[in-house]
Structure formats: structure tokens, C-alpha cells
Amino acid sequence: MKTFFQIAFLLFVFASCNDEIEKVRIVTEKNTMPIETGQNVQINFTDSGITKARMFAPLLERYSNEEKNYTEMRKGITAYFFNKNRKIDSYLKAKYAIRYDREKRMVAKNDVVLVNNKGDTLNTELLNWDESTQRISSDQFVRITTPEQIIMGEGFESNTEFTRYRIFKIKGTISVKR
């Protein structure tokens, strides 16, 4: 009889553990599911009623929990940055992007292309955009192509218009004759 109660107790403990594991899985799964999903989405970033940027994404998923709020664009983005005269100063394309909503920061990855209104083109695999400071940067390899030259290096910082930029570790410069 004592053995029967021991076996019954162990079965009860294991059965209740399975229920707890299932509850943890359900709660964890809820935190990994998007709270909003949109297709072919356009987002406008404004400051005092003035549009600073306009972003397009084929797929947008917004996640929110106590720790982080972020918006993921797994199928890429196209973003246009506007000057104070509401003209496009630059545009950005990437195959993946994530925006950290609380930090007002976006990271674009995978085949990132940034072009300014002069035709200068930046190519990199990673680009950070800090909305608060209106700065873009990368700590990865970058290539900037202008009408006069191609500059390659590691690390980069610029204003969002991509008109005043700096490459941190220049690896090479090629003059271009047109």
C-alpha cells in the first residue's frame, strides 16, 4: 500500500509539472507573437506636424511586452527622408529592418543602399538610424560612390540627409573619370 501511494504521488507530481510546462509555453508563445501585422504599410515620421521621413514595408510586425517594443520589417523597407522644405533629401532601401520604438532607433540590414539628392550612394550591410539625434551610422564595411570617387572603409556616420558624412577607417579611394 505504501508503494502504491508513492507511485501515485510521483505520477501526480509529473502530471502537474507537465501542466506547468504547458502554461509556461503558452505564456512565452504569446510574448513572441506580433500584436499587429500589416502588409504594404506606409508609416510617416513627423516632428511638430512636419514629415521627417516616410517608410514603406511589404510586411510589418509589431511586438510589445514589458521589456521591449519593436517593429520588425522582415521583407525589407524603403524610406524617404525629407528636408525642412518637404523635399526628399535621401532614400534608403534594405532587405530587413527593425525599429526599437521606445529608443526611437532603427536598424537596417542586408544589402542596405542609401542615396542622397546629389546621387551619392552608400552601400553597406548594416545601418543604424537614431531618430532623436537625426544621425545615421554603421560600424561595418561601407562603400560610398560619388560622381568623382569611390571610398571604402570601416565605420561611418552622417546626418540623415547623407550630405555631411565621415568614414572612420578608410580602406581605399578610387578616382572616377566620367
Are residues 139 and 154 in contact, defined by beta-carbon separation less than 8 angstroms? yes
Written as nine digits, the cell of 64 is 510589445
The single-letter DSSP state of residue 76 is: -
What pLDDT is stored for residue 127 in this prediction? 95
- Give the whole-angstrom CA distance, residue 71 versus residue 48: 23
pTM: 0.74
User: pLDDT digit of tens for each residue in the chain (178 aa)?
Assistant: 556 556 655 555 555 555 555 555 555 555 578 888 889 999 888 888 888 888 899 999 999 877 778 999 999 999 898 888 888 888 899 999 999 988 889 999 999 999 998 889 999 999 998 988 889 999 999 999 988 899 999 999 998 788 889 999 888 778 777 6
What pLDDT is stored for residue 64 in this prediction? 87
DSSP-assigned beta bridge partners for residue 117:
none
Q: Are strands 77-82 and 69-73 parallel, antiparallel or unpaired?
A: unpaired
Grid coordinates 511638430 are at which residue? 48
